Amino acid sequence: MSIFFDREKCLVTLNTRNTSYQMVKGEFGHLLHTYYGGKCDGDMSYLISYIDRGFSPNPNEAAYERTYSLDLLPQEYSGFGAGDFRSPSLIVENGEGASAVDLKIKDIRVLDGIKYSIPGLPSSYANPGERVDTLMVALEDEIIGLRAELYYAVFEETDVITRTVCLINKGGEVLTVNKAASMTLDLMQDEYGVTHFRGRYGKERMREDIQLGHGSVVLGSRRGISSHQENPFFILTRGEVTETAGECYGVSLVYSGDFKNEIEKCPYNSVRIVSGISDEQFSMELAPGEDFWTPEAVMSFSENGFEALSDSFHRHVRKNICRGPYKESRRPVLINNWEATYFNFTGEKLKNIARKAGELGVELFVLDDGWFGKRESDTTGLGDWFVNEEKLQGSLKDVADTIRSYGMKFGLWLEPEMVSEDSDLYREHPDYAFAIPGREPVRGRHQLLLDFSRQEVVDHIFSQIAKVLDETGVDYLKIDMNRSINEVYTRCGRTQNRGLVLHRYVLGMYDFLGRLLERYPDIMIEGCCGGGGRVDLGMLCYVPQIWCSDNTDAIERLEIQYGTSFGYPMSTVGAHVSIVPNHQTGRVTPIETRAAVALAGGFGFELDLNLLSDEETDKVRGFIEDYKKDWRLIQQGRYYRLTNPAERRIFAAWEYAADDLSEAIVGIVCVSTQYNQPPEYIRLRGLDAKGRYYCEQTGLSYSGAALMKGGISVPEFRKGEYSSCLMRFVKKY
């Protein structure tokens, strides 16, 4: 068992393989947090300090005991208005408009071998034969009739604890919920920092480290999507943390919409984390008898630095988030026509690109934007999901069948959540789009958003797309979304709980994806949102891979993929070899370097292979053979960040190592050359110290201990800036 409940003390301890998490009932019925960190035994409630602090009020039941204040005590879930002035977990108004929630323990249950599920929302799951235990702690405010059921699931092997909250109105009046976090974590006094992953379109998930001072750091999105600008995953660091040393806490939401992560340091140096749906565009009426579930939060702790924390998240995502036939099987090598043709293609041109790709061993051809409706640019056609047979010079099935005759599978690009004003759908159903009455539309990429909070809109788009898929037999879908969400106003002609529209939009999008997978269980879906605008655990519950950035420049991708790797396994990252000069930066890099960087994730191409030289064509064959040989190591091996490409400008390096320590691949890219450069060394990780490893590139063998403690010399990059190499190490004994 991973959950231990001491009924006499009302003390609960959750244990994973390497961590412990503990909570206890306070003197007056509140649920207090005692400890989260490395695995340990015993009652940790002695760590809670009871001190009289001026201007920190005391609950009525404490009478004259001024040392008991919710403003100071570490809590598992904090209500606003009951004496705690830190950032609350929950803000609720009663019918009189008063905001006060005082939650007391009502019930504690341990659900052995059961993983909770969340109605309408994706969440982590237990595999057959895997034991996952759940703790449910029911808190109630009997005055307003609100019950908050806190759920904790323990994934022992991956060192992960997941959390969600179910709010239930047990009273007789409507309550208004203005904030409902998924989790709160109160930590004792220490020096903390925050590592988060900021960015912008085309430059997503740039690592940034912040020393936490007094006050709040707020990380989030108000764009309706998890966003390019901030990722739902962040790390709280305790003191100095490196890849291999130091204590750190990782938190990630299983959600693809607006979110808010608050990290607050109080005047007495304790730290509170509050994570959940953003409250900025959220408000809901909870009628008597109704309930509301928050998205799942995933958390893990490491006392051995970032590397161990990332490994926990990587294993959890691969094992307990991703699902379907491509969860553990090899992803096909694909070619996408977008940067080769953009909108300017014909059926014959597509077949010509596919023919060459098939000859070289590519396994999947993806037809990107422009195959449907009146779609010759990004100003028209979205929402009209019928095939443009004039442009394709025949049916889509004819194109697909021809491509399959080359030994390849066939895939399509979709953008189901969008509509163009110049489209049959918009002319027939303008009310399907978000729009605020009396205001002119705000466009993004010349398009409007369909109101996916409405079931009839989701049904209409699904039926159109299903017809195409049924007729064509598509093997793969790239599902895109190319603008932020604003003008949130649903026009469905009935009373709405308008503060929930954005959340219901996310539920509608999940419903669409779930129905696709139910109807087409063998299809592979790759997520995309202008590249990396929806890289989150919610999407990964439906798609095994996400196009992590529209920026295909190999040098830019080094830092993008580095930041992504902290919270997401590289098996979930779509990466392509694209054309040079690169269409985003104009940079020219050797095809070997473009391939080395793309081989770090789900491998593919985004160019016309007919335009390559004979020498480059031969190399492409070799890249594809390498991927097919190494896919298991890339998708399932342990990933090590050997350098930080943002800090070290001479070279960037990363490593994949097999779980059984049998082999490793090290990727190295020269970022900046220097004259008369001193020797450089890289220390490998994840090897058998007593084993002996042969390196194909040097022709020499080394002990595992030598490679990890002394390292290996980085090859001199005499080929110049942006050159690269992949070094393979195979254990001989």
- pLDDT value at position 189? 86
Mean pLDDT of the chain: 96
Q: What percent of the chain has pLDDT over 70?
A: 99
Q: What percent of the chain has pLDDT over 90?
A: 93
First to last CA, the chain: 38
DSSP string, 179-190: EEEEEEEEE-SS
Rounded Cα–Cα distance for residues 595 and 314 (Å): 23
Of the pLDDT bands very low, low, confident and very high (cuts 50, 70, 90), residue 616 is: very high
Least confident residue range of 99-113, 318-332, 472-486, 488-502: 488-502
- pLDDT value at position 382? 98
- pLDDT value at position 353? 98
3-state percent helix, strand, coil for the chain, nearest multiple of 5: 20, 35, 45
Superfamily of domain 651-731, CATH level 4? Golgi alpha-mannosidase II (2.60.40.1180)
Rounded Cα–Cα distance for residues 579 and 552 (Å): 9
pLDDT over threshold 90, residue 492: no
| Phi, psi of 150, deg, nearest 5 | -95, 125
Rounded Cα–Cα distance for residues 435 and 425 (Å): 15
pLDDT over threshold 90, residue 719: no
Pair 163, 182: CB distance under 8 Å: yes
Rounded Cα–Cα distance for residues 343 and 576 (Å): 19
List CB contacts of 57: < 8 A, sequence separation 6 or more: 69, 71, 83
- pLDDT value at position 494? 53
pLDDT digits (tens, 9 = 90+) for 68-117: 999 999 999 999 999 999 999 999 999 999 999 999 999 999 999 999 99
List CB contacts of 222: < 8 A, sequence separation 6 or more: 258, 278, 280, 281
661-681 mean pLDDT: 91
267-296 mean pLDDT: 96
Of the pLDDT bands very low, low, confident and very high (cuts 50, 70, 90), residue 674 is: confident
- pLDDT value at position 717? 66
Of the pLDDT bands very low, low, confident and very high (cuts 50, 70, 90), residue 196 is: very high
From the candidates 52, 616, 625, 696, give the one annotated as an active-site residue.
616
Task: Verify whether residue 616 is a known catalytic residue.
Answer: yes
Cβ neighbourhood burial of 444 (10 Å; 0-12, 13-18, 19+): middle
Task: Verify whether residue 230 is a known catalytic residue.
Answer: no
- pLDDT value at position 379? 96
Superfamily of domain 3-321, CATH level 4? alpha-galactosidase from lactobacil brevis (2.70.98.60)
- pLDDT value at position 675? 83
- pLDDT value at position 1? 82
- pLDDT value at position 726? 95
DSSP string, 333-393: PEEE-HHHHTT---HHHHHHHHHHHHHHT--EEEE-S-SBTT-SSTTB-TT--SB-HHHHT
Rounded Cα–Cα distance for residues 603 and 176 (Å): 48
Q: What is the pTM of this model?
A: 0.97
What are the extents of the domains in the chain? 3-321, 334-636, 651-731
Structure tokens at 190: 């220490």
- pLDDT value at position 679? 87
Domain 334-636 has CATH 3.40.50.720: no
Give 596's Cβ-side CA count (13 Å radius): 24
- pLDDT value at position 497? 67
| Phi, psi of 70, deg, nearest 5 | -65, -15
From the candidates 156, 204, 369, 536, give the one annotated as an active-site residue.
536
pLDDT over threshold 70, residue 493: no
